[in-house]
């Protein structure tokens, strides 16, 4: 598989089509839960992009929801467009990589979007967006071939692109360092090729130092940084912690394919006597898992959140597969394409299987809307002990989720319901008839866009009674 064949192109097109189809098919499961419901709400309320925690790279997907509302799409169209935007991003980058003649990077990008992805196909964040963008940057770098081939204005674009990749999610740093080191260990390359990768690593490290040592952190990043104190508190028991046991269980159940790809690549690299690369491919993922599991040792049971942090493992597996294993003569003909087709097929099966849980979540919320619609009072406050939290996962997104689901049929059908673990917090607000109660902020009805949420109920909130 030294050169792309017609089968390679068909594989890229097929995988892209399936990704797009799943994005449309599961648009409700993806867009009416937690962060996406909240961000959609903010975009529709303000009429502009809503970047969270300074992760401005998210604009590449938020622009789809913004454009849909600007064009006057109904709520269903906005949600569907937002969902499409999240799968269109890796597809677009894969197409660009192919156009630059970097078909291996084209496939790496698609593997980054599928190989580890299970619950993160439905709970969306900036991490996967940043990882595929990073791979897109490397596709362009390899298209150029070395630092000497950069024009003066391309330097500026390159540095801005690296800055953007870092600010998608700080943990993209570890994927960047791995990729840079992997290609620095490639034999027979010119000095300007190596300088290109060294500078890429250096820029990310400099940005990390600037962000965490010089600039003032927002509350979210400050809280994440504080978690690093766990390394001192848990030493010397880093291995014997519940998050490691949990990760092993998830790996056996959901992430086994990624580990097979990675371990297979390591064994192949050892067989090729490239022992230094094999050491990098072995130690880096192991260290990265500890880097996640020790600080987040208390995130027990939140697989959708933890999986988001594990996603760089897909990069650690995909890059060696395409640039080490499938370089060999053994994969000539269509053997490589058949192997990749199997990997993609199993990945899609896992995503579809995980979708059943997220579909149950949506169906439960829709059922609750239908049941409470028969009651005299339409605004409801529920407590966490009244709902299946194992299914809902977290309650803070509930007011935005129910607002979206209730308004899908018609703006006039929009409803206000909220789940909370602190009901007393809302005691003084429940009697206000024209107030939308949110988890972080409350909004008068007249501040919400009536073409999406035409709230008319003039009764106050009541406690839900089972």
In order along its 466 residues, the chain shows pLDDT tens digits of 667 788 999 999 999 999 999 999 999 999 999 999 999 999 999 999 999 888 999 999 999 999 999 999 999 999 999 999 999 999 999 999 999 999 999 999 999 999 999 999 999 999 999 999 999 999 999 999 999 999 999 999 999 999 999 999 999 999 999 999 999 999 888 999 999 999 999 999 999 999 988 888 887 788 888 889 989 999 999 998 999 999 999 999 999 999 999 999 999 999 999 999 999 999 999 999 999 999 999 877 789 999 999 999 999 999 999 999 998 777 777 889 999 999 999 999 999 999 999 999 999 999 999 999 988 888 999 999 999 999 999 999 999 999 999 999 999 999 999 999 999 999 999 999 999 999 999 999 999 999 999 998 889 999 998 6
In order of 48, 54, 311, 338, the CA distances from 39 in angstroms are 11, 14, 22, 39
Main-chain phi, psi angles of 50, to 5 degrees: -125, 90
Residue (of 321, 346, 347, 329) closest to 264 by Cα position: 321
Residue (of 133, 140, 139) closest to 164 by Cα position: 133
β-sheet bridge partners, residue 463: 381
CA distance 337 to 12: 10
Report helix, strand or coil for 373. Answer: coil
> Regarding beta strands 462-463 and 380-383, do their DSSP bridges make them parallel or antiparallel, or are they unpaired?
parallel
User: What's the confidence (pLDDT) of residue 374?
Assistant: 86
Composition of the chain by helix, strand, coil, percent to 5: 70, 5, 30
- Where helices occur in 235-388 by DSSP H, the ranges are 242-250, 256-271, 275-293, 303-310, 312-323, 335-372
CA distance 239 to 243: 9
The two structure tokens encoding residue 238: 């880093």
User: What's the confidence (pLDDT) of residue 1?
Assistant: 63
β strands within 352-444, DSSP E: 380-383, 417-420, 435-436, 443-444
Main-chain phi, psi angles of 421, to 5 degrees: -100, 5
Residue (of 320, 461, 443, 271) closest to 383 by Cα position: 461
Residue (of 207, 154, 150) closest to 176 by Cα position: 207
User: What's the confidence (pLDDT) of residue 219?
Assistant: 78
Quick one: DSSP state of residue 382?
A: E
The two structure tokens encoding residue 192: 């300007």
The CA-to-CA distance between both ends of the chain, in Å, stands at 61
Model pTM score: 0.96
User: What's the confidence (pLDDT) of residue 308?
Assistant: 96
Residue (of 377, 379, 405) closest to 392 by Cα position: 405
**Radius of gyration of the CA atoms of the chain, in A:** 24
CA distance 10 to 16: 10
CA distance 457 to 466: 22
CA distance 232 to 295: 10
CA distance 64 to 73: 11
Instruction: Centre a 10 Å sphere on the Cβ of residue 222 and count the other Cβ atoms it contains.
Output: 11
**Rounded to 10 degrees, what is the CA torsion of 185, 187, 188, 190?**
0
């Amino acid at each position: 598989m030294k050169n792309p064949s017609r089968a390679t192109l068909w594989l890229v097109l097929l995988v892209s089509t399936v990704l797009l189809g799943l994005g449309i098919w599961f648009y409700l499961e993806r867009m009416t839960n937690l962060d996406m419901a909240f961000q959609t709400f903010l975009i529709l309320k303000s009429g502009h992009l809503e970047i969270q925690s300074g992760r401005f790279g998210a604009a590449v997907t938020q622009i789809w929801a913004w454009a849909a509302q600007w064009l006057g799409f109904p709520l269903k169209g906005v949600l569907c467009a937002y969902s499409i935007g999240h799968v269109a991003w890796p597809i677009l980058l894969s197409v660009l990589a192919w156009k630059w003649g970097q078909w291996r990077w084209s496939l790496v990008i698609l593997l980054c979007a599928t190989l580890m992805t299970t619950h993160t196909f439905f709970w969306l964040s900036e991490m996967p967006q940043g990882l595929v963008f990073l791979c897109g940057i490397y596709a362009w770098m390899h298209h150029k071939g070395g630092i000497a081939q950069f024009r003066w204005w391309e330097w500026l674009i390159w540095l801005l692109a690296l800055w953007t990749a870092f600010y998608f999610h700080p943990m993209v740093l570890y994927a960047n360092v791995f990729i840079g080191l992997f290609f620095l260990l490639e034999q027979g390359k010119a000095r300007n090729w190596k300088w290109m990768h060294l500078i890429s690593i250096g820029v990310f490290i400099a940005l990390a130092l600037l962000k965490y040592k010089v600039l003032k952190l927002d509350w979210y990043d400050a809280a994440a940084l504080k978690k690093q104190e766990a390394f001192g508190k848990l030493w010397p028991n880093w291995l014997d912690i519940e998050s490691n046991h949990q990760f092993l269980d998830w790996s056996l159940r959901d992430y086994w394919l990624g580990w097979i790809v990675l371990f297979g690549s390591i064994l192949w690299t050892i067989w090729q006597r490239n022992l230094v690369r094999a050491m990098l491919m072995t130690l880096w993922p192991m260290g990265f898992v500890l880097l996640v599991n020790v600080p987040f040792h208390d995130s027990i049971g939140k697989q959708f959140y933890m999986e988001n942090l594990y996603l760089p493992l897909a990069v650690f597996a995909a890059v060696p597969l395409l640039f080490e294993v499938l370089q060999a003569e053994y994969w000539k003909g269509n053997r490589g394409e058949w192997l990749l087709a199997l990997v993609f097929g199993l990945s899609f099966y896992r995503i579809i299987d995980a979708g059943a849980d997220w579909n149950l979540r949506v169906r439960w919320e829709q059922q609750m809307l239908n049941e409470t619609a028969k009651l005299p009072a339409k605004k409801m406050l529920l407590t966490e002990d009244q709902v299946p939290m194992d299914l809902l996962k977290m309650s803070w997104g509930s007011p935005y989720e129910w607002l979206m689901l209730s308004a899908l049929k018609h703006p006039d059908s929009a409803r206000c319901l909220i789940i909370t673990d602190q009901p007393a917090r809302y005691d003084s607000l429940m009697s206000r008839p024209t107030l939308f109660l949110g988890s972080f902020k409350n909004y008068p009805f007249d501040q919400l866009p009536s073409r999406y949420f035409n709230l008319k109920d003039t009764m106050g909130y009541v406690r839900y009674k089972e």
